[in-house]
Amino acid sequence: MSGFSVRLSIVHRFDAPPERVAEAMIDPALPAFLQTHHEMLDEAAGVAHVDRGPMVERKVRYRPRASVQKLGPKTIPSDALAFVEESTLDRRTLSIEFEARSTRARLRDRVVHRGKTTLRAVDGGTERRIDATLEVRDVPFALRALQPVAARLFRAEAERLFDGEARCLRAFLAAR
């Protein structure tokens, strides 16, 4: 069986210091805010949040809204895109390492999204850089011809998801 991977590098700017952006990103209230304000999310719910001083670990369940209902002959069920993100913020380096895996057992080891977010001070605000890879493993033979289309679709959807999250994070920061 074969697979493919999609690399992403996305930069967002915020009008707040990096420490404030980092704390907002791991705030336990952010998932509920995202669920209410993010146009692509049907669900965002905190599962765990452990503050260990310089390190904060969290788990959040997300269920994005599918923009495409079918991929080739396959219909995409509404919960097929649901995933749990596990992330760790290092307050000393202002970086977050994350891994997201599907909530569906069949997809959990076949679709893995992982990466690192770094924050740095720029012009009185913050530049957030997300470097990530989405890996799709063990693509069935019948769907291999669709891999280039799926890769473009996954990239576009991931960028839209992160861009929407950045808009919501700006609003979340402004409301605090």
pLDDT band of 68, cuts 50, 70, 90: low
pLDDT band at 152 (very low <50, low <70, confident <90, very high): confident
pTM: 0.86
Is 130 within 8 Å of 7 (Cβ atoms)? no
Rounded distance between C-alpha atoms, residue 131 and residue 11, angstroms: 9
Is residue 21 left, alpha or beta, with left meaning phi > 0 and alpha meaning psi from -120 to 50?
alpha
- pLDDT tens-digit series, residues 90-148: 999 999 999 999 898 887 887 789 999 999 999 999 999 999 998 877 766 666 676 67
Model pLDDT for residues 10-38, shown as the tens digit of each residue: 999 999 999 999 999 999 999 999 999 99
Helix (H) or strand (E) run with residue 80 in it:
none
The more confident residue out of 151 and 105 is 105
pLDDT at 96: 98
Whole-number average pLDDT of the chain: 89
Closest of 60, 91, 76 to residue 165, by C-alpha: 60
Domain spans in the chain, listed from the N-terminal domain onward: 2-175
Pairwise pLDDT comparison (60 vs 73), residue with the higher score = 60
CATH of domain 2-175: 3.30.530.20
